[in-house]
Every structure is written in C-alpha cells, then in structure tokens.
Amino acid sequence: MLLRHTPKEITERSALTINPAKTCQPIGAMYAALGIHGCLPHSHGSQGCCAYHRSALTRHYKEPVSAATSSFTEGASVFGGQANMLQAIDNIFAVYDPEIIAIHTTCLSETIGDDLKQIKKRADAEGKIPKGKEVISCSTPSYVGSHVTGFSSMVISMAKMAEPTGKKNGKLNIIPGWVEPADMEEIKRLVGLAGVKSILFPDTSGVLNGPLSGEYKMFPDGGTTVKELKSTGDSIGTLALGEWCSGEAARWLDANMKVPCRVLDMPFGLSATDRFIDALRMIAGVSVPDEIALERGQLVDMISDMHQYLYHKKVALVGDPDQLIAMTEFLVSLDMCPVHIVTGTPGKKFEARIKEITKDMPFEVNVRAKGDMFLLHQWIKNEPVDLLIGNTYCKYIARDEDVPFVRWGFPILDRQGHQYFPTVGYKGGLRLLEKILGVLLDRLDRDAPEQSFELVM
Amino acid sequence: MATMTKKKLVQWDPAEVKAELLAKYPSKVARKRAKQIMINEALANETPEISANVRTTPGIITMRGCTYAGCKGVIMGPTRDIVNLVHGPIGCSFYAWLTRRNQTDAGPDGENYMNYAFSTDMQDSDIIFGGEKKLTAAIQEAYDLFHPRSIAIFATCPVGLIGDDIHTVAKRMKEKFGDCNVYAFSCEGYKGVSQSAGHHIANNQVFKHIVGENDAEKPGRYKINLLGEYNIGGDGFEIERIFKKCGITNIATFSGNSTYDQFASAHKADLNAVMCHRSINYVADMLETKFGIPWVKVNFIGADATAKSLRKIAEYFGDKELIDRVEAVIAEEMPEVLAARADVRTRTEGKTAMMFVGGSRAHHYKELFNEMGMKTISAGYEFGHRDDYEGRQVIPTLEVDADSRNIEEIHVEPDETRYNPRKTPAEFKALEEAGYAFKQYDGLVPDMDKGTIIIDDLNQYEAEKLVELMKPDIFCAGIKEKYSIQKLGVPMKQLHSYDSGGPYAGFKGAVNFYREIDRLVNSKVWSYMLAPWQKNPELSASYVWE
C-alpha cells in the first residue's frame, strides 16, 4: 500500500495538513503572468520559490517556463529586498529584454514588508524601466489563500493595466481563469464561431503548448499583448469564467472602468457551457451559429448513448473551486453522484454552492473547503466510490483503493494531452465523457467474469 | 544519422565563447560571471582558481534552489520512517512532495511516510501571532495519528523571520512523547546562496540528534556507511546489490532508502565511503572526529569507477577474502557491461556532452560519458564550492564570506567511550605509503581537458548561448532547463531526476545509461525539426499530376 498509514477512522485535525489539495499563491501568479505576451514573471523572494514554481509548471506542461527571482540572501531578508529588486529589473531588461515584467511577492518579502509599488516608483525615478516597457506587480503572500487566489491576484493586476481612451473597441473581455492552454484556445474558437471579437486574458495558448522546431523562443508567440490589456477598459463588457479565478478582476473593470461584467462558472460540461454561450450571445448581440448547436447536440447524444454506465455512479473529486463547481454540476447532470468533494482553497461559499448543486442527489455529500487529500482518502475508505477525479497525486489513492481514476486539474505530472485537448465547451465535455467512460468501461472489462464479458458496450 | 544534420562550429575558440557569454551582461554582472567561467588550462601541477559558492545575481535566471530544498528535499527526504513536518505556508511542503524520485523499499508492512506531505500550512494569523502553538499541535496530531519513531521539523522562510523557536518546541515534544525523537532544522530558504547551505544544516542536525543513538551491535563483516547516495531511480538498490554480492555490509546510507535506525547506528561502521562529498562531507568528518571512522571518496557512477571504488573499499579492509571476492564480482559483472559499451560506442564515439548539475554529480557522470567515448566539452556545478572544482586541498584557503558564516559549524570532540580509531597509526601510514588516499577528492577541473569550459552556477541565458555556439550532442541539467534546450533540437538528459529512468549507478546502471544516451543522441526525432516545405521553400519546378 502506498498510503499505508492512512487510517479509516477520521479524527479532526486543527493544525496538521496532510497531502495538500492546494499549493501557494505565487505559482498561480506566475502561471497567469505567462499568459501575457513577452512577459517575464518575477518572484520577489528567495530563489527556491522560483525554482519550485518553474519546476512544477514545467513538469505539468512539459514546456520551458522562464521566470526570474530576486534571490534574497539573509542580508536582504533583514534589510529588505529593494536593492535586489532594482538590480533584478536592470539585469532582466539588459539580458532578456521582455516587454513586461510581472512581479509577485512571496511569504518572505511579505513578512519583511517590502512594498512593491514603492520599489517600482523608485525604479521609475532611477530610469531603470526602459521606455515602452512595463512592470506590473501583485501581492501573493503564501500564507493567504492558495495558488488559485494567487492567480486571481495577478489577473487583477492585468486588469489594472487598462487605459481607457473613451472610445469603445467593440470587443468583449473574457477572463478564462486557471485552465489549460488548450482550454483557452477552445474558448477563443467558440467565441470566434459566435462571431464575437474578444480580448482573452490571460492566454497561455501558444505559450505553454509550443512546437518543437529547432528554435527556442524565450517569449513565445502566444499570450495577451500589452496593447490588448491596455484596451480592456474600452471593451463592451467582461465575461469572467469562475468566481475564484476571475471574478475580482472583472468587477474591478466594472467598478473602475465602467465595463459591465458578468461572472459565470467555468464552461465545463453541458449546463455551464450553455450559460456561457447564452451570455456571449446576449452581451455581444449575436445569434448562435448552427456549428455550436451541433457540438451541443453531439454532447447530449453521447450522454444519452452511454447513460447506463454513468447512472448513480459515485464519484470523489479534488481540485480547485471553480473547476469543481462546474464538474460537480456536470456529473449531477449525467445522473452521476459526486459524494466526496475537497478543495484545499479556503471559502465557505464553495461548500454552500456544492451543497446547492447536489441537493437532490440520493446520497449525502461530503464537501470541504480548505480540506486535504488525506481527508478525501479517509472519506473514500468510509464510503467507497466508483470513480476518482483529480490531479496526479490521486494516483496513490486510486491504486490503494483500486478506484478508476481520471486525471483532471493541476498538476498532471504523469500523462499527456491536457495541454493540447480542451475539456471546456461542448467538445471538451465530449472529451471528459470519453475519459470517464474509458476508465469505467476498462474496469468493467477487467472485472467481468468470462461468461459475461461484453463485446459491444 | 539524425544528429548529422546539425551544423557545428568547426573549431570554437573557448575565449570567444566566454566573451560571447558575457557580452550582453551589465558590466557588474559580467565582472562577477567572468570569475565563474573558466577556460581550463589543464596545468600539470596547479589547478586554476574559479569563483564558486557565491551569491546568485538577482534577475539572472538561475538553476539553483534554496536551503530548504537542500535540507528537506535532498538529505532528509529519502528517509522513509521519519515524519517530515514542514513548518510554513503550504507551498514548500507541496513542491517537495515526491518530486525527487528517491525510491524506497519498506517491504509489505514497513513504515513509509515518503508518499505523504506534512505541513502546518501557516496562515496570516500564525505569521502575526507566531506559529509555535500551531506547530506544537501539528506535532501532536502527527504523533497521535502515526506514532512514528521520529518527527523532523523544517523551517521555511517566514519561520526564521517571525522568530518561532522550533528547536525548543521540538525538545519539549520529544520529552513529552518519550518514544519519539523530535528535532528541527533551521533551513529557511534565504540562508546561504544555494541548496548547499541546506545540506550542511541537515548534516549538523542528523549528527547531533540521531547518529549514535543506537549502540546495538550490527551483524555482518566489512561494515561501511555509504554517504551521499540518494537512491534516485534506484541507484542505491543497484549499489546495495553489488555490496551484498561482495559481502560488504552497509550499515547506513545517507540517505537513499534509509531509515532512522540506519542513521542512529552509523557509528557502528568501520569505513565511510563518500559519494556526493558536496552534500555530506560534514557528516563524514564528524563521524571521524567523534568515533574514529575514516572516510574515502568513492564513485559508483560508471562501471570502471564502480570497480575502482569496490577495490578501494577492499584495500582498506585489507582482507584477502574480500579482495578476492571483489575481484570475482567485477570479473562476473564486467563482461555484460563491456559488451553493451562496445555496442553503443559504435554510435556514441566522439560525440560531445555538457553537464551542469549538483555539486559532485557533473564530475561523476563525466565518467560514464568517458566510457562511451564521449567528450565533455563544458561542465560545472549548480551549488558546488571551490573544492568540488579544484580538489579538497584548497579548503584551508577558502574565504568564509557573510553567507557561509551564517551556517553553523558544529564543534565535535572524540566520544569519551565510543571513539575507536579503526586502524593503528602504523596501518594508516602503510596504506598511505602504498598510495591510498583518505579524505581526498581531486575535483572536476583536473579531470577536464585543456580548452574545455568550466562554468559555475550556469544560468538559462548562458546555457542557451553555449548550446547555440558549441552544439553539443547532449546537454545534462535539471527539469527547469530540459525543454528550453530541447527546443533548440538538442537532446537533454536530466541528471537530477533521470527523466523517470535509472538506475545509472553500478554495473547494471552503467548499461542502462549507455542505452539511454544512445537512444537520446540517436533518436530520429531530432531530424523532424523542419517540414519538407521548410527545407525547400522555393517553388522551383512545376509538378504535374499524371
């Protein structure tokens, strides 16, 4: 047994987290910053943070992840990191020449109280930021929130780059949240199909799913451009996908730039995608093309074709709030039963929303925000499930408990495809269904007695 | 052959390469980096000086990690029956969770906490009001859940800043439990200049709190400890297999596939065989001073190096039975190795490699490339010190700067009852006169050819430039460097985690490595960079369908 010391009996823990279902804010800020074209993310802290985030993102995307660090020493930790940051700005523009540096803080620089806004002012005053180049920053102490809120913080800083000209640009801002590059690409495809002009930010497609061609581009072709980010204040509206990842940035644009916003769920599964497309239609004043209706119909078709294998199957889920809310709704819409749901990210609203979505289910739901995978495993030991959905760390639970397992979320360290094949939208729904059915039917095939082993399923 | 399509600079001049690496830097950075980039003179009696173990320059994209990574990740991570509790915000524990590929064998029912991540997940209230209470509660909860024999506490950056006294908390809990050794590591990420400081901190605490705790006699003959081996990809399993075959008893490995009891019994060994001296030499020195166990440098990376190291261990014990047994094992193992080597050399001979990893590892892996007929044209360490480049004799001349001064040097005295020199002065003298070297390693530089380039703390920009200019057939570093190098069409081998491969140590490991490098440098994929229409873009002739 891989997790052989996990007892079935659940005891309340007040201080000890075991097998976390979240990581820290800075990595989220780094991932979001990579979705800006020509951006070098910068970690203001000791160099280990930056090394760990780059390694984690690289293992997930199997792509180069460039980011710089202030490389604090003990001296900097005592006297403040301003000198390190100013030197870093100098070196970064001299050596790497990015369009923009996106700085985030760490628990170290936050604890000593470094003020990034003041440091930026100083850099400006000393002429360290070349003309036409940008430096943005956000505060991401690791002892608050999670990687999800860190992502959100950097997205807010991106929204704050808006420089309204007073003339509308006819575009719709779309904030996709922490989804895969393939998902961002898919959202752009759907928006394009609907005939809507948009600014998607951040946009890691073309950044973290690049080609191999013998050429290394430190700043790949993809990403939202600085020009586009400045233009978000002129947009006709903002659609934020996911309250946790994207809501705040959209509301900031609404409150400060008078760009009206709507906050929707992430478009995973049938109903959430329906609401996304419908909102798109209403805000942009377009009619939905037949291609999109066709994709929707194909998803409904597969649900009806395979319903017998899904009906009342119990599922355990772990991941991030926005994703889990949409996935839970999707599973319920398939007549599946998500019974154990854990996120490491704090937020009582999450628990309330999940309870609302699952209220008519024939089973009681265990849901926990600020939970961990140790608790999830204990829940599974007490009430076994037919399917487990989560990041790669779930494979230890899946093997110990012999549960069919679909990898979905962050990080995925041991399988491929998540960078290239979306799970958002109707097409993404088909892919999710394909993956779910794949593991469920493989299990039936594995366990069926010879006399009832089925050819056609 | 795939790699033949690459254009190489016919004769790169190392001085030009160095100038090119420095050209883009602001002058202050260029001056500093110039001292860390050395063109090897290959002098007969003298090793040129390189600047190493110095601060990383802010803003320059470094390969280095932090002190916590060196302490928790590297040294303490591979021990399976210690609950490693990280005191800090969640990230540090999350990132060090199963990412280093230290394999372990706890059997069907042994204690194994390596698949778990433990953290106090500090929140802002803990930062403001102090985290000692939460740490105390977390230790209690871990104890109540698992009843481990030992709990180790690791400090992350904010812990040192807010002044949590983790050592007192540990001491109190140890006294309270009575049957669980609790101790702490002040390995905040900002200490030192790299992972290296974390190794030192881990060495100190393991020595202070665990080594010597178990005085029970250990069965077996030719008792050694293997120091600085981390069982990445099963390296340690292969070395253990060879030891068993030779009749050598391994009391403790620091720290691949290890247990608490191995550390506690380490003073029962008669020789310390040190592999990665960078990460563990402090323990070797302390074991010698306190218990009288001498140490020698070994290397089990490379089949020839493995044979040499086994002979070195046998020569130390000086027992004919062991010497003969070792020779018999080498004779038995080498034919398969030589056959594999002869086969791959037809495809690897004359190819070039670059290695930038660790603090001893780049040197060790050079052995394997030598065995394949491949030339190392540039190499360096991520967190090495000058002695790792130039040899142990430079240690007395090393300047102790502010960053190193902050890392505790513990003073060790011979143990009143347990100090026991393993050989008489006359025996030591006889061995040394016969050319036997205790406490000695020569470093990377003397082993590199004239005109090769040795670079300390290589960064992303220099790596890319080096590959562009010198077009090696393979580049070795870590996960962060992997894909930027491969985008250039050059295969990249991770020598930290082995890209899910291994073992590469010992005899079987050497064969694995030969095959792996053969696969990488000769993979067809490197010939697919351009589509046909990119190779011949002009629409010269008209094509007519029949």
Domain with residue A97: its CATH number is 3.40.50.1980
Question: What is the model's pLDDT at position B11?
Answer: 66
Residue B83 lies in a domain: yes
> Which residues are paired to A36 by β-bridges?
A224
C-beta atoms of B59 and A88 within 8 A: yes
Question: What is the model's pLDDT at position B405?
Answer: 86
Residue A151 lies in a domain: no
Contacts of residue A85 in chain B, CB cutoff 8 Å?
A: 58
* Mean of pLDDT values over B511-531: 96
Partner residue opposite A51 with nearest CB, options B192, B480, B487: B480
Q: Does residue B539 carry a pLDDT above 90?
A: no
Burial of B500: CB neighbours in 10 Å, binned 0-12, 13-18, 19+: exposed
**A75 shares contact with chain B (CB less than 8 Å):** yes
**A125 shares contact with chain B (CB less than 8 Å):** no
**A212 shares contact with chain B (CB less than 8 Å):** yes
C-beta atoms of B487 and A91 within 8 A: no
* Mean of pLDDT values over B197-225: 97
Q: Are residues A309 and A417 in the same domain?
A: yes
Partner residue opposite B127 with nearest CB, options A2, A73, A111: A111
C-beta atoms of B92 and A20 within 8 A: no
User: Which among A34, A42, A58, A74 is the top mutation candidate for probing chain B, defined by the most B β-carbons within 10 Å of its own β-carbon?
Assistant: A74
Name the residue of chain B whose CA is nearest to A45's CA: B190
Contacts of residue B89 in chain A, CB cutoff 8 Å?
A: 24, 107, 141-143
How far away is chain A from the Cα of B528, in angstroms, using its nearest Cα? 8
Partner residue opposite A212 with nearest CB, options B134, B135, B486: B486
Contacts of residue B118 in chain A, CB cutoff 8 Å?
A: 16-18
Q: Are residues A117 and A99 in the same domain?
A: yes
Residue A75 lies in a domain: yes
Residue B84 lies in a domain: yes
Q: Which residues contact B168 (CB under 8 A, 6 or more apart)?
A: none
Residue B88 lies in a domain: yes
DSSP letter, residue B69: I
Q: Are residues A140 and A221 in the same domain?
A: no
Count of domains forming chain A: 3
Q: Are residues A272 and A378 in the same domain?
A: no
Domain that holds residue A411: 301-451
C-beta atoms of A143 and B123 within 8 A: yes
Distance CA B263, CA B251 (A): 9
Residue B95 lies in a domain: yes
With contact defined as beta carbons under 8 Å apart, do B57 and A91 qualify?
Answer: yes
List phi, psi (to 5°) of A253: -65, -35
Partner residue opposite A68 with nearest CB, options B61, B63, B162: B61
Partner residue opposite A94 with nearest CB, options B26, B65, B119: B26
Question: What is the model's pLDDT at position B545?
Answer: 59
Pair of tokens at residue B452: 């090769």
A365 to each of A356, B330, B532, how far by Cα in Å? Answer: 11, 62, 57
| Residue whose entry in the numeric block shows the structure tokens 């166990």 | B293
> Which residues are paired to B102 by β-bridges?
B232
Contacts of residue A101 in chain B, CB cutoff 8 Å?
A: none
User: Which among A8, A23, A95, A119 is the top mutation candidate for probing chain B, defined by the most B β-carbons within 10 Å of its own β-carbon?
Assistant: A95
Task: Render pLDDT for B64-80 as a digit per residue (tens, 0 to 9).
Answer: 999 999 999 999 999 99
Q: Are residues A322 and A286 in the same domain?
A: no
How far away is chain B from the Cα of A43, in angstroms, using its nearest Cα? 9
C-beta atoms of A143 and B68 within 8 A: no
Question: What is the model's pLDDT at position B537?
Answer: 83
With contact defined as beta carbons under 8 Å apart, do A330 and A273 qualify?
Answer: no
* Mean of pLDDT values over B297-318: 98
Domain that holds residue B143: 67-192
Distance CA B75, CA B227 (A): 10
Q: Report H helices in B157-234.
A: 157-162, 166-177, 195-209
Q: Are residues A277 and A311 in the same domain?
A: no
Residue B494 lies in a domain: no
User: Which among B66, B80, B405, B525 is the top mutation candidate for probing chain A, defined by the most A β-carbons within 10 Å of its own β-carbon?
Assistant: B66
How far away is chain B from the Cα of A250, in angstroms, using its nearest Cα? 26
Residue A159 lies in a domain: no
Give residue B34's identity as a one-letter amino acid code.
A
Question: What is the model's pLDDT at position B423?
Answer: 96
Question: What is the model's pLDDT at position B3?
Answer: 39
Q: Does residue B7 carry a pLDDT above 90?
A: no
Question: What is the model's pLDDT at position B89?
Answer: 98
Partner residue opposite B142 with nearest CB, options A2, A16, A214: A16
Task: Render pLDDT for B14-47 as a digit per residue (tens, 0 to 9).
Answer: 999 999 999 999 999 999 999 999 999 866 667 7
Domain boundary among A291, A311, A328: A291
Q: Which residues contact A436 (CB under 8 A, 6 or more apart)?
A: A310, A387, A389, A406
How far away is chain A from the Cα of B196, in angstroms, using its nearest Cα? 12
Residue B303 lies in a domain: no
C-beta atoms of B116 and A374 within 8 A: yes
Partner residue opposite B482 with nearest CB, options A58, A142, A374: A58
Q: Are residues A443 and A322 in the same domain?
A: yes
With contact defined as beta carbons under 8 Å apart, do B222 and B247 qualify?
Answer: yes
Q: Which residues contact B221 (CB under 8 A, 6 or more apart)?
A: B247, B249, B322
Q: Are residues A141 and A186 in the same domain?
A: no
List phi, psi (to 5°) of B417: -110, -25
Q: Where are the beta strands (DSSP E) in B365-507?
A: 375-380, 453-455, 474-477, 492-494
C-beta atoms of A42 and B59 within 8 A: yes
Q: Are residues A68 and A182 in the same domain?
A: no
pLDDT level of residue B536 (50, 70, 90 thresholds) = confident
Residue B126 lies in a domain: yes
Cβ pairs bridging A and B (under 8 Å): 263
DSSP letter, residue B525: G
How far away is chain A from the Cα of B322, in angstroms, using its nearest Cα? 38
Residue percentage of chain B with pLDDT more than 90: 92
What are the pLDDT tens digits along chain A (457 aa)? 999 999 999 999 999 999 999 999 999 999 999 999 999 999 999 999 999 999 999 999 999 999 999 999 999 999 999 999 999 999 999 999 999 999 999 999 999 999 999 999 999 999 999 999 999 999 999 999 999 999 999 999 999 999 999 999 999 999 999 999 999 999 999 999 999 999 999 999 999 999 999 999 999 999 999 999 999 999 999 999 999 999 999 999 999 999 999 999 999 999 999 999 999 999 989 999 999 999 999 999 999 999 999 999 999 999 999 999 999 999 999 999 999 999 999 999 999 999 999 999 999 999 999 999 999 999 999 999 999 999 999 999 999 999 999 999 999 999 999 999 999 999 999 999 999 999 999 999 999 999 999 999 9
Pair of tokens at residue A326: 């949409």
DSSP letter, residue B301: B
Partner residue opposite B58 with nearest CB, options A48, A77, A91: A91
Distance CA A403, CA A315 (A): 10
User: Which among A101, A216, A372 is the top mutation candidate for probing chain B, defined by the most B β-carbons within 10 Å of its own β-carbon?
Assistant: A216
Residue A164 lies in a domain: no
Contacts of residue B97 in chain A, CB cutoff 8 Å?
A: 19-20, 393
Partner residue opposite A216 with nearest CB, options B122, B161, B464: B464
Q: Does residue B364 carry a pLDDT above 60?
A: yes
Read off the CATH number of the domain in which B86 is found. 3.40.50.1980
Domain boundary among A291, A314, A333: A291
C-beta atoms of B530 and A213 within 8 A: yes
List phi, psi (to 5°) of A31: -60, -45
Residue A161 lies in a domain: no
The closest alpha carbon to A181, from A222, A236, A230, belongs to A222
Q: Does residue B1 carry a pLDDT above 60?
A: no
How far away is chain A from the Cα of B511, in angstroms, using its nearest Cα? 25
Residue B333 lies in a domain: no
C-beta atoms of A90 and B26 within 8 A: yes
Contacts of residue A111 in chain B, CB cutoff 8 Å?
A: 127, 157-158, 161-162
Q: Does residue B160 carry a pLDDT above 50?
A: yes
Name the residue of chain B whose CA is nearest to A46's CA: B190
Q: Are residues A389 and A331 in the same domain?
A: yes
Name the residue of chain A whose CA is nearest to B22's CA: A95
Name the residue of chain B whose CA is nearest to A17's CA: B119
Q: Are residues A207 and A261 in the same domain?
A: yes
Residues 343-362 of A with CB under 8 A from B: 344
| Catalytic positions of B, written as ranges | 66, 69, 100, 199
Question: What is the model's pLDDT at position B404?
Answer: 87
C-beta atoms of A73 and B124 within 8 A: no
Give residue B506's identity as a one-letter amino acid code.
G
Q: Are residues A219 and A354 in the same domain?
A: no
pLDDT level of residue B540 (50, 70, 90 thresholds) = low
What is the number of alpha carbons within 13 Å of residue A441 lying toward its C-beta? 14
C-beta atoms of A5 and B97 within 8 A: no
Question: What is the model's pLDDT at position B2?
Answer: 38
Pair of tokens at residue A124: 């400006």
Contacts of residue B135 in chain A, CB cutoff 8 Å?
A: 15
Count of domains forming chain B: 1
Residue A287 lies in a domain: yes
